[in-house]
Amino acid sequence: MKSIMVQDAVMIEGSEQWMAGVAGAVGGPITGGERLRHWGASEVWRLQVGGAVPRSVIVKRGLGEMADEARRYRELVMPLGVPAPRLLAGGGDVGPGVLVLEDAGPGNLEQQPSAEGYRAAVRALALMRDAAARRLALNPGLGAGLRMSTADFADVARRVAAGLAALRPDLAGRLDGPARTLVERLDRLAGEPVTIVHGDFHAKNLVLTGDGRAVAVDWPVAYLHAHLGDLYSLLREAGRLGLTGRVGADALPALFARESGTDERTVADRMVTGGLCWTLLVLRWLLAEGIDVIPESRGWLDELVADCEALAAPH
């Protein structure tokens, strides 16, 4: 695999070993490659594949929690009919934590932020949730091992509280109120139909297609629930990037309500519940492995804890 070249003509150290399993899965000779992302928990390449019809594929390697994407594809994305890049090979086919996916396209919403792009993302969210809900209504047992319960989130909150107290004693106890509020909110959702939650529904993970659609990629943390954490996290990111006005973010919850046939008040309420779920899961990941992978993420803790408190305040 030494013939694979990245843009700066430097091989990633160790990539020869894990790339070796990819050659037999791409359906043709690998003629070149471009590294799209490389950080402690994941590595993503676009490889050029020769043959009668040259094409490109996406190859990913994940570590830790990021290594679980093949399972999500096989237990959630594929059986639930969720629009996503097609899985060509993954897991045991090519190596631990390695996936080969069809290439959905070169541009994403992070690179090309626009009002229409964000509207396409919201439509994609409504579509994928609807597709999953329909399949689950016919076969409720699908993805059973990836269904999050109130007890699961309560356990996440306990683990986060303990981790924060150990790492940042000044933050000890700050999540007690939000944890109680979350359990109360989740109890109100008990019995509601569940659907798929992407879990990292951010602009970098939304590929824009030539026909005006957005396609969600990167599914290693997906699970089943009824909350709207995906919409919350997309709008939160737009706000943090200063894009709220530029992309018309304030109108997106109403658009989602129309596209999904949901009452706007229900959308707003489930976004709050989803925001608490999303924030606690991010905190769990940071405390378990994220700070070791991205040392600067230690500075994110204060903001995330403050977000939990704001979400738990009376609305």
In the prediction, which pLDDT does 6 show? Answer: 37
Using only C-alpha atoms, what is the Rg of the chain? 20
Question: Does the pLDDT value for residue 14 go beyond 50?
Answer: no
In the prediction, which pLDDT does 96 show? Answer: 79
What pTM did the predictor assign? 0.92
Which residues are CB-contacts of 87 (< 8 A; sequence separation ≥ 6)? 70, 73, 74, 77, 78, 99, 100, 101
Average pLDDT for the chain: 91
Question: Does the pLDDT value for residue 298 go beyond 60?
Answer: yes
Q: Domain spanning 115-312 has what CATH number?
A: 3.90.1200.10
In Å, what is the CA distance from 27 to each residue of 21, 77, 119, 167? Answer: 12, 23, 36, 48
Lowest-confidence segment of 15-24, 97-106, 122-131 by average pLDDT: 15-24
What percent of the chain stands above pLDDT 70? 94
The fold of 15-102 is Phosphorylase Kinase; domain 1 (3.30.200)
In the prediction, which pLDDT does 5 show? Answer: 44
In the prediction, which pLDDT does 101 show? Answer: 93
| Per-domain residue ranges of the chain | 15-102, 115-312
Contact 128, 248 (CB under 8 A): no
Using CA atoms in the order 71, 126, 136, 101, what is the torsion angle rounded to 10 degrees?
-30
In the prediction, which pLDDT does 2 show? Answer: 39
Pinpoint the alpha helices (H) of 171-298.
176-189, 229-240, 252-260, 264-285, 291-293
pLDDT tens digits for range 140-198: 999 999 999 999 999 999 999 999 999 999 999 999 999 999 999 999 999 899 999 99
In the prediction, which pLDDT does 40 show? Answer: 67
Rounded to an integer, what distance in angstroms lies between the CA atom of residue 215 and that of residue 224?
19
Question: Does the pLDDT value for residue 9 go beyond 50?
Answer: no
